[in-house]
């Protein structure tokens, strides 16, 4: 079956939905998500969304904090754009129904997180993402020009390759005509033709064994663009959140928001001793790369599986009021955070790199945009400042919508795209061929491409992944397409990109730390 939409949006997080709402006054929009509309990284965001809104704060401070966290390689123009456009986008979110907490005087109740010099994080209790996600879902469901396709999995973006042309490397002429999409309900593969396509498929956390990301975060959009010979960059900068609740039986790991450290919680080793003063004068509120590496060092030196986060010295009622979700979750695990220390360990959390885009969120492929976590705008550089990703997503969705609306009528649907061809394929003999490989990718990434890297570990990861790549491509060619095999293929592709780009960076910077090049390269 063929569908035709002016705008095809792949992904229903904050990036995809806010773009859809803005594009829909210019044409018909299809929005796809691979499971339910809710299941996205956005839904799980806790701490909040950074924007200058208070009189004591100003753009220069937010810009400076972002640049410092990014460790010298943020794109200054992008940082200024995001910080300055942020307040208007906060207004848009409020207009769509998002309710940010306010204090008794009616001002925003602002939180502070690592690397921020001011209290500037707007939030809805400790469930900001869920509040945003629910409000946007309500708005898109009410919009007559937006059609939702849930449980629809995008397999590949359509380019000249699907018209029989051989594209072996990136060129300026590649065009995107839409996507092949698997309907999980009917098992049919549909052709979605579009004038303009937006990729908003989120992060890659699920390529790691331990992650805060929901299982849908398999880097599909990045892998699709890479296979279509689009440009992908800065993949070595994987942010590990310092404080995921330690529970080896749970995947994904439950996050203990950094806002809790902003509120006064203190990191301690298993013997109850503070340690962050050894690593940074900002102690528990140093930027994430520093805190995650410090925890990793302490755990390795002591042979411990976790450290503690201590919030027991704070007023119990205040703690429950600010962090009701975390309080309940920990209580369900037998931890009363007002009395007990919380066991925490770092987990893969956020991808700073991704699909290379310009200031309009346009990719290196014509008619194709990307925004949100799958995109690399240059805002984060080598390390993202806390709570800067939701705001980046909504600012760039706005830029993408403006640009796409101005150009959409220059394009026609490409009716020459053939239907998906599954000739010669059959069901894979055994699911274990896929499920075991997924586990192996997770183990390779977590063990060899983690917080601290080395040439030897990266080479080992590369060689192991190469074997899985060959096996999986072989299986893919002869299998009836399923979401499972596509996701496996995608985590292998993004894993390869992370390793390759990490091998190319012969220095330690921000989130990329290697024992073979421990210094920053000042010749850049």
Cβ within 8 Å of residue 55, ≥6 positions away = none
Q: Which stretch binds ligand FAD (CB under 6 A): 12-20, 94-102, 157-165, 328-336?
A: 12-20
Task: List the one residue from 9, 29, 40, 498 that touches ligand FAD (CB under 6 A).
Answer: 40
Strand partners for 49: 122
Q: Which stretch binds ligand SIN (CB under 6 A): 131-139, 214-222, 301-309, 385-393?
A: 385-393
What does the per-residue mask of binding to ligand SIN show for 438-477, with x meaning CB under 6 A?
Answer: ----------------------------------------
Q: Pick what 33 binds: ligand SIN, ligand FAD, none; C-beta below 5 to 8 Å, kind-dependent.
A: ligand FAD
Per DSSP, the three-state class of 463 is helix
Residue with Cβ nearer ligand FAD (295 or 361): 361
Q: Which stretch binds ligand SIN (CB under 6 A): 255-263, 458-466, 480-488, 499-507?
A: 255-263
Cα gap 503→514, rounded to integer Å: 10
Binding residues among 212-231 for ligand FAD as defined by CB under 6 A: 212-213, 216-217, 220
Residue with Cβ nearer ligand FAD (244 or 458): 244
What does the per-residue mask of binding to ligand FAD show for 175-204, with x meaning CB under 6 A?
Answer: -------------------------xxxx-
Whether omega for the bond prior to residue 252 falls within 30 degrees of 0, making it cis, is yes
32 binds ligand FAD (CB under 6 A): yes
Task: List the one residue from 20, 52, 154, 337 that touches ligand FAD (CB under 6 A).
Answer: 154
Burial 45-57 (b: 16+ CB within 10 A, else e): bbbbbbbbbeeeb
Token duo for residue 435: 């499920």
- Give just the sign of the alpha carbon dihedral 422, 426, 427, 433: negative
Token duo for residue 167: 């594209």
Cα gap 384→57, rounded to integer Å: 20
135 binds ligand FAD (CB under 6 A): no
Cβ within 8 Å of residue 477, ≥6 positions away = 425
483 catalytic residue (yes or no):
no
Cα gap 192→150, rounded to integer Å: 14
Per DSSP, the three-state class of 470 is helix
Residues near ligand FAD (CB under 6 A), total: 44
Catalytic residue among 261, 288, 367, 464: 288
Cα gap 81→399, rounded to integer Å: 10
Residue nearest ligand SIN (C-beta atom): 47
330 binds ligand FAD (CB under 6 A): no
387 binds ligand SIN (CB under 6 A): yes
Residue with Cβ nearer ligand SIN (101 or 175): 101
Binding residues among 40-59 for ligand SIN as defined by CB under 6 A: 46-47
Q: Pick what 11 binds: ligand FAD, ligand SIN, none; C-beta below 5 to 8 Å, kind-dependent.
A: ligand FAD
CB burial of residue 281 (10 Å; 0-12, 13-18, 19+): exposed
Cα gap 326→322, rounded to integer Å: 9
Residue with Cβ nearer ligand FAD (40 or 417): 40
As a whole number of Å, the end-to-end CA separation of the chain is 51
Residue with Cβ nearer ligand SIN (16 or 242): 242
350 binds ligand FAD (CB under 6 A): yes
DSSP symbols for 117-182: SS--EE-STT-HHHHHHHHHHHHHHT-TTEEEETTEEEEEEE-GGGGT----S--TT-B--EEEEE
- Which positions are catalytic? 288
Binding site for ligand FAD (CB under 6 A): 10-16, 32-35, 39-42, 44-49, 128-129, 153-154, 200-203, 212-213, 216-217, 220, 255, 350, 372-374, 387-390, 393
Binding site for ligand SIN (CB under 6 A): 46-47, 257-259, 350, 386-387, 389
């Amino acid at each position: 079956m063929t569908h035709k939409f002016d705008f095809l949006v792949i992904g229903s997080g904050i990036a995809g939905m806010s773009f859809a709402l803005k594009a829909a006054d210019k044409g018909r929009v299809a929005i796809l998500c691979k499971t339910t509309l809710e299941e996205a990284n956005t839904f799980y965001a806790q701490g909040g969304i950074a924007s200058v809104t208070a009189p004591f704060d100003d753009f220069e401070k937010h810009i400076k904090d972002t640049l410092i966290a990014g460790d010298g390689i943020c794109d200054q123009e992008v940082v200024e754009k995001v910080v300055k456009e942020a307040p208007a986008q906060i207004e848009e979110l409020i207009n769509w129904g998002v309710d940010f907490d306010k204090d008794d005087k009616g001002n925003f109740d602002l939180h502070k997180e690592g690397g921020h010099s001011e209290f500037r994080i707007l939030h809805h209790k400790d469930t900001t993402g869920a509040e945003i996600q629910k409000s946007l879902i309500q708005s898109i469901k009410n919009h007559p020009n937006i059609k939702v396709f849930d449980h629809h999995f995008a397999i590949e973006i359509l380019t000249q390759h699907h018209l029989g042309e051989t594209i072996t490397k990136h060129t300026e002429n590649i065009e995107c005509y839409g996507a092949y999409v698997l309907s999980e309900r009917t098992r049919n593969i549909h052709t979605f033709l579009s004038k303009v396509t937006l990729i908003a498929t989120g992060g890659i956390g699920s390529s790691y064994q331990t992650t805060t990301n929901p299982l849908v975060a398999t880097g599909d959009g990045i892998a699709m663009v890479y296979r279509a010979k689009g440009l992908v960059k800065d993949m070595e900068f994987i942010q590990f959140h310092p404080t995921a609740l330690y529970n080896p039986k749970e995947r994904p790991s439950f996050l203990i928001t950094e806002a809790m450290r902003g509120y006064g919680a203190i990191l301690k080793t298993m013997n109850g001793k503070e340690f962050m003063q050894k690593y940074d004068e900002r102690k528990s509120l140093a930027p994430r790369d520093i805190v995650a590496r410090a925890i990793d060092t302490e755990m390795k030196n002591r042979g411990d599986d976790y450290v503690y986060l201590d919030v027991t010295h704070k007023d119990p009622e205040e703690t429950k009021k600010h962090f009701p979700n975390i309080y309940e979750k920990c209580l369900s695990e037998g931890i009363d955070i007002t009395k007990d220390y919380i066991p925490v360990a770092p987990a893969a959390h956020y991808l700073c790199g991704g699909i290379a885009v310009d200031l309009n969120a346009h990719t290196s492929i014509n008619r194709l945009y990307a925004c949100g976590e799958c995109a690399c705008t240059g805002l984060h550089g080598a390390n993202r400042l806390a709570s800067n990703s939701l705001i980046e997503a909504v600012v760039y969705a706005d830029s993408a919508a403006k640009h796409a609306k101005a150009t959409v009528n220059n394009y026609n649907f490409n009716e020459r795209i053939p239907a998906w061809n599954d000739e010669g394929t059959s069901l894979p003999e055994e699911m274990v061929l896929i499920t075991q490989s997924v586990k192996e990718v997770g183990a390779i990434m977590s063990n060899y491409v983690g917080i601290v890297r080395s040439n030897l570990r990266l080479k080992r990861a590369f060689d192991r992944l190469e074997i899985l790549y060959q096996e999986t491509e072989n299986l893919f060619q002869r299998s009836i397409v399923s979401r499972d095999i596509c996701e496996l293929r995608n985590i292998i592709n993004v894993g390869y990109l992370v390793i390759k780009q990490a091998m190319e960076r012969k220095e330690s910077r921000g989130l990329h730390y290697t024992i073979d090049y421990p210094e920053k390269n000042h010749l850049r």
